[in-house]
Amino acid sequence: MGCGRVGSTIALSLEAAEHSVAIVDQDASAFRRIEGEFKGKQVVGVGFDRDTLVEAGIENASAFAAVSSGDNSNIIAARVARETFGVENVVARIYDPKRAEVYSRLGIPTVATVRWTADSILRRMLPDGGHSEWTDPTGHLALCEMAYHRDWIGQSVGALQQAVDGTRVAFLTRYGEAVLPTRDTAIQDGDQLHVMVIRSDMERIEAILAAEPAESE
């Protein structure tokens, strides 16, 4: 639902992956974004109207994305797809991050575009410290990319986790590739460190990693 820049990109990407796709928008002119390339069904109508969704083929759909410009419309449409038609894979784009957390608790996966975009930009503007990449629906846990002192290079993941209590290394990015480390994996120069932390504990963990490791007793 929604044939804006995001919706048209998703539709074309899915079709390129050989999925059958239908796209719904209440503005017929919106389909110009994909005209001439898209072979799927184009339905003009309100994206949370049951008859419109049936026309689009919702009864046979395995997935549904609500990516219009309205938070309320996206949530209503996502709930109709999930609760009325039993679509297994449903996601809604939400601009208000507070709403995103609430709806995630209700079982509707959401993408909070403003929060995601802001965090992505901040990670590039402020490479030091920690920057949240993902937060669980309760807001308690966060996956963060963390900067670290150069003296952590050569230390093992296990030693880092032992020294920085309350941290779990989720993965490393090494030469552009994700690496799932073991406790014995050594941190190499240039590695990006992605850790799971309790959100309220981020400042303490940032401070520990920003300093050189304490000598083992």
Express each pLDDT in 97-133 by its tens digit: 777 767 766 777 777 776 666 666 555 555 556 666 6
- Rounded to two decimals, the pTM is 0.59
The most confident of the ranges 3-7, 121-125, 180-184 is 180-184
Structural domains for the chain = 5-116 (3.40.50.720), 126-210 (3.30.70.1450)
- Report percent pLDDT > 70 for the chain: 86
Alpha-carbon distance of 60 to 85, in angstroms, equals 9
Task: Tell me which of 38 and 80 has the higher pLDDT.
Answer: 80
Alpha-carbon distance of 187 to 205, in angstroms, equals 17
